[in-house]
Structure 1
Amino acid sequence: MSTNAAAGAVERSPDRATRRMTSSRVAAMIRDAIAKGELLPGEQVRQQEWAEKAQVSRPPIREALEVLTSEGLLDHSLNRGYFVARISLHEMRQLYLMRRLLENETAATAVWPSDAKMAELSELVDRARAADARADRAEHMALIEQFLLTVHRLSPEQLVVQAVVDLWARTSAYRALSFTAVKISQIDDNILMGVLKALRENDRTALCEQLLRPTVTVYEYIERSIS
């Protein structure tokens, strides 16, 4: 490579890195909108609208939409654009089956947390309870998800952990809807405190039971609905 070409590559790399960071930020904004029910299954995700919301140009928006499509959160039609994915009950069953299996693995292999990590988890529980007390449902759900995924990330099986995170993202749209399977999976203080207690006591059986209870409850409901 010539000196000029190498210099050009160095000059362009920050632009690429900046665009990746921007597209990641936009993807996170759209995921959040889906999780909060601001974007519903089947609803179109318009590039210009999100470019204005995020105050960015169109290319990072397109990259973010392509990422979300690869994750299964969006569907793309060449002539119509991007839409929040619709998931059938049979597809939901498969997603929750995979969550059940993989979350069991991360719970079974989680490394017992340090005092600092336990303090971080306890703080998340306190913040979630405070959000619940002031009826901030969106913040409550976001903090619960952050707490549970932080616990799953204690597992050294990082490929499995990433699959769990991806599956949570794929089911996020339906956690915001008035869907019976989601209602019965509401995570209360008893589950959060049960997870913390299991971690403090290094109780693997209790950790697996408490951490998987919401996922198992939804899966079993869907199984009954289909049969």
Structure 2
Amino acid sequence: MLRSLRHFFRFVDLDSTFVAHGFYKKIGAAFVLNNKDPAYTDFGGAGGANACSWNVIRFEADDLISRHAGKSGAQIFDGVKISAIEFAPHEGPSTADDKTQDPGRHKSATWTRKEEGTSGVIKFDYIVDASGRMGIMSTKYLENRHFNQGLKNAASWGYWQGAGRYGARTPQEGVPYFEALSDGSGWTWFIPLHDGTTSAGVVINQDIATP
């Protein structure tokens, strides 16, 4: 996580929850982009001793954020999948063009909960599509998804025990380490986590990784 994220956490009263959880403290990061010595970003250099972020285990961090949203008044629905979005016709002219469809004004969504075998419909005035790479709105209804060719990569990773720490016995000990591949086809990461494991992986251009 970037150092700047903590400003947003403090704004919504979530920072203390992350501090108490015990994620691995991130005081900076080391990275290599060429054949020179590693560069280092020192979070404390600009913000003092408490200017840190964390290396997080993603599902734990997501759960903290979700639960906090619920405590703050949001309705949380776990284990629910949106299978369809329903629309009403526009009262005005269509906004469709040669790049984007216009299905109308969204009004409701059909949901299913597989674990309980239940389903239903939820109505709303506004929608934010947070379905990630699935992109329900852009792929199924608007049909306007655009792929950035420079980001079409493949990643391989794992979680390792006893992997050691970058920068042992130096002020940078334990910071995450990133290195670009010498041929420019991708990059690697080495990130220690609070459960004693280290996340290590490589990202490579998809055309090279899957010829």
**Larger strand proportion, structure 1 or 2?**
2
Report the structure number with the largest CA radius of gyration.
2
| Larger RCO (CA within 8 A; separation ≥ 6) | 1
With normalisation by structure 1, the TM-score equals 0.20
With normalisation by structure 2, the TM-score equals 0.21
